[in-house]
Structure 1
Amino acid sequence: MDTLKVSILTIFILFFSCNENKPSIEKQWYKGNLHTHSYWSDGDEFPEVIMDWYKSNGYQFVALTDHNILAEGEKWKTISKDSIYQNAFKNYLKTYGSDWVTYKVDSLNRTQVKLKTYEEYRPKFEENGKFLIIQSEEITDAYNGKPIHINATNVKRKIDPQGGNSVLEVMQNNLDEFAKHKKEFGTPIIAHINHPNFGYAIGLEDMIALKNEQFFEVYNGHPAVNNSGNDEYIATELMWDYINIAYLENNKPIMYGLATDDSHHYHRKGSKWSNAGRGWIMVQADTLSAKSLISAMETGQFYASTGVTLNDLTFENNTLSVAVKTDENTTYKIDFIGCKKGQGEPEVFASFGSDKASFELSNDMLYVRCKITSSKLHQNPIEDLLFEKAWTQPYIFTE
C-alpha cells in the first residue's frame, strides 16, 4: 500500500512538473486590418455593416480609423439619393431593425440616420478570443496641400492634428502628441505612417529623419496612393529598404511594414474603388487583446499580406525560415532581401521557387526580410500589384 501511495504521488508530481515547463498560453496568429473608414467620416457604410463584413470574412481584429474623429457623441448621416445607398439603408434597417436604427425623414424628403457610437456597436460584435474592435483614429493633417495622415491605434480620446512648418515637422509633431497620449493614459498605443506616396507627400528623407516611429504602410489598398511609385518617386517597398538601411546604420530601431485596406467603398467594387479585403496583417500574440497585439507588433511578431498565408515563420539562430500555406495549382517565389553593411543599397540575397525556404543571416549584413509572391492573381487588385504577396518584417543578426 505504501509503495502504491508513493507511485501515485510520484506520477502526480511529474505530471504537474511537466505542465509547469510548458508555456501557459500558446501564441496564435490573428488576422486584422488597422485602416478602415465608415460614415463617421468619408466611408460609405455604417460601422455595424463594416464590422459584420470583417468578422464574417475571417478577421479577428479591426480598427475603425475615421478622419480626425472618434465614433462618439451624436452624429447624423444624410443618406444619398443614389439608389445604391437608398437600398443599402433599407437592408441596414431590415437587418438591425427599428429598435436599433434611429432615423428620420426631413422636410426635403431626405433620410437621416443617427450613427451608432463605438460603445454602442462594439458589444454587438466583439467576442472574447474571437473578434476585437480597437478604437482608433486617422489623424489627417497637411503641409502646403500635401496630405499627411497618421493612424493612431488604441486611442482613449480624440487626438487633434498638430500642424507644422514642413512635412517632417507635421509628422513629428503628431508623433510627439501620440507619445503624450500614451504617457497620459498609460496604455499601449501605436502610430503608423499612412500611404507615404499619396500625393507623393512624404519623401524618403522625411521618413529617415523621423524620431520614435517604427511603423508605416508598405502596402495600402486605396487605388490613389501610388504604392508602386513612378519614374520620379520610388515604390513604398523600396522606400522601406532605404529607411531601414539608414535607421540601422544610425542605431535606430527597425521600421516595420504593414498592409492595410484603407477601405472607404463598400457598394462598388473594382480597381477604382477603395474596397475591403485587399491587405492585412497577421500578428502572433498570446491573446486577442489590444495590449497583446500591440506588444507583439512592437517586437516585429507580425507579417503583412495581400493574400499569401504562412504556415510557419521563424527566426532562430540567425536563420529566417518561412513556409507557405499552399493553394492548389499555385506556385510561389520566395525572395530574401536585405543589405550588406556599408553597401547602402538593398539586394536580393537569395531567391527560391518553392513554398518553403530558409536563409541564414551573417554578421556582415544589416538585415534580411522575406517577400513571398504567389502566382495566384489578387481577387481585387490595384495599380500593377496583380499577384498575392506577403512580407515578413526585417530581422537583424544577433550574436
Structure 2
Amino acid sequence: MNIFDSSCPWQKGNLHTHTTLSDGRKTVEEAIALYRGQGYDFLAITDHRKYCPPAEKNGLRVIPGTEFDRNYMSPNIAYHILGIGLEREVVQDPAATPQQILDAIHGAGGLSIVAHPGWSLMTHESLQELSGYDGIEIYNGVSEYYSGRGYYSDYADVLAANGIMKRLFATDDTHWYERDAFRGYIMVQAPDNTWASIRKGIEENRYYSTQGPELHQITLDETTFTLHVDSSPLCSVIFYSDTFFAGNRVQLGDHITHSQYKINSTDHHVRVEGIDANGKHVWSNFIEIPQ
C-alpha cells in the first residue's frame, strides 16, 4: 500500500501566517509576494481574531483563516487554535472556552489545528480533554527561532498512544519575516491549489510536513509487515510507534534515500521523522498498522 499517489502533483503551502492585520510585520500583499517568490502554491493568512477572505493572486492561493486564542495566567497555559478554510468570518467571544472555539470553527466549515502546544505550555491532559480538533502543529518556526520551543513530537506521540491520533502540521507562524519565515510548511498532493483540492489531500493524508527534506513515497508491505520510505538524502530516519522499545527504530547514515522498518507486533501505528545533513527535519503523518 502506497501512502502517496505517484501520478498526483505536489503543492507547497503554509497554514499559519501573520500580517499587519494583527501583529505581523508585512501586509497581506507583501506576504503573498514573498511566499510566491519562495515557490509556495498556497498560504493561509491566520491573523489573531481577524478573518482574511479567500483570494488568488499571481498563482498563489490565499486560504481564509483566523488564529483564535485564550491565554490563562494561573496556571500558565494558552490555547491557540487555527481555523483554516473558514467559509465565513467567526467573531471570537472573549468568554468562549477553547472547546467552544473549536466548535465554532467547525460550524463555519473550517479545519481546526492546535498551534504550538509547547510554546503554549499545554499539558498532554489539556490536549486530551479537547474534542474534535483536526490536527496539531508538530513544528512551529517562530516558536523555535524566538522562543526555543518549536518541536512537538512528544505531544503527537503521547496523544496517539492514548488513542488520539491527530494529523500533523509544520508551519512557520511568520511574524517578523526574518528568522521565522519559510521555516516549516506542508507538501500536499493535489491536482491544483484550490482549497477544495488541498483539503481533500490533507483529509486523505496525502501530505507531509517539512523544513526542506522530501518524502517521495512511503509503502506499507502488509505481507512482510515492513514499512519502506524513499526520500531525499537524510542522515537519520526514526520510525516512531507506540512500542516502548524498538531496537530497529533509529537508522543512521551519511546519505539515506531508502530506509525500511520491520513492524513490531506491538506497533499499532508508525510515523516517520527524518533529519538531513543540515539538521532539517521532515515528518510523515501517522500510519495505522492493520492488526
Where do 5+ consecutive residues of structure 1 fail to align?
1-24, 72-117, 183-188, 229-234, 377-386
Match of 2:250 among 351, 354, 369: 351
Distance 2:190 2:268 in 1: 26
| Equivalent residues in 2 for 1:260-279, closer than 5 Å | 260-266=171-177, 269-270=178-179, 275-279=180-184
User: Secondary structure of 1:161's match?
Assistant: coil
CA distance 1:53–1:35, shift in 2 (3 Å): same
- Deviation of the 1:301 alpha carbon: 1.9
CA distance 1:363–1:295, shift in 2 (3 Å): farther
CA distance 1:123–1:210, shift in 2 (3 Å): closer
- Who is 1:58 aligned against? 39
- Who is 2:203 aligned against? 298
Where do 5+ consecutive residues of structure 2 fail to align?
1-5
Which amino acid in the other structure matches residue 29 of structure 2?
A: E
* 1:239 is the counterpart of 2:155: yes
Distance 2:269 2:160 in 1: 8
Question: Which structure would you say has the larger RCO, counting Cα contacts within 8 Å and 6 or more residues apart?
Answer: 2
- Deviation of the 1:316 alpha carbon: 4.8
- Who is 1:136 aligned against? 65
Distance 1:360 1:391 in 2: 19
Match of 2:192 among 283, 287, 305: 287
- Deviation of the 1:173 alpha carbon: 1.6
- Who is 2:227 aligned against? 320
Contact 1:149 1:194 in 2 (8 A): yes
Which amino acid in the other structure matches residue 48 of structure 1?
A: E
The RMSD of aligned alpha carbons is 2.4
- Who is 1:198 aligned against? 119
- Who is 2:263 aligned against? 361
Which has more radius of gyration? 1
User: Secondary structure of 1:294's match?
Assistant: helix
Match of 1:172 among 99, 111, 134: 99
Alpha-carbon displacement from aligned partner over 1:58-117 (angstroms, at most 9, x marks no partner): 11111111110124xxxxxxxxxxxxxxxxxxxxxxxxxxxxxxxxxxxxxxxxxxxxxx
- Deviation of the 1:240 alpha carbon: 1.1
- Deviation of the 1:214 alpha carbon: 3.0
User: Which structure has the highest strand share of the two?
Assistant: 2
Distance 1:27 1:180 in 2: 31
| Equivalent residues in 2 for 1:2-151, closer than 5 Å | 26-71=7-52, 118=53, 122-125=55-58, 127=59, 131-144=60-73, 146-151=77-82
Distance 2:190 2:56 in 1: 22
- Who is 1:74 aligned against? none
User: Secondary structure of 2:100's match?
Assistant: helix
User: Secondary structure of 1:30's match?
Assistant: strand
Distance 2:56 2:270 in 1: 41
CA distance 1:239–1:45, shift in 2 (3 Å): same
Distance 1:141 1:26 in 2: 42
TM-score using structure 2 length: 0.86
- Who is 2:3 aligned against? none
- Deviation of the 1:283 alpha carbon: 1.1
User: Secondary structure of 1:52's match?
Assistant: helix
CA distance 1:163–1:39, shift in 2 (3 Å): closer
Contact 1:319 1:358 in 2 (8 A): yes
Q: Aligned residue pairs: how many?
A: 277
Match of 1:370 among 272, 280, 287: 272
* 1:394 is the counterpart of 2:269: no
Distance 1:240 1:227 in 2: 15
Percent identity between the aligned chains?
Answer: 24
Alpha-carbon displacement from aligned partner over 1:173-229 (angstroms, at most 9, x marks no partner): 2111122222xxxxxx211000112241x211011222112300110001345436x
CA distance 1:124–1:199, shift in 2 (3 Å): closer
Contact 2:237 2:273 in 1 (8 A): yes
User: Secondary structure of 2:273's match?
Assistant: strand
User: Secondary structure of 1:175's match?
Assistant: helix
User: Which structure has the highest helix share of the two?
Assistant: 1
Distance 1:396 1:163 in 2: 38
Distance 1:312 1:123 in 2: 30
User: Secondary structure of 2:238's match?
Assistant: strand
Distance 2:43 2:268 in 1: 33
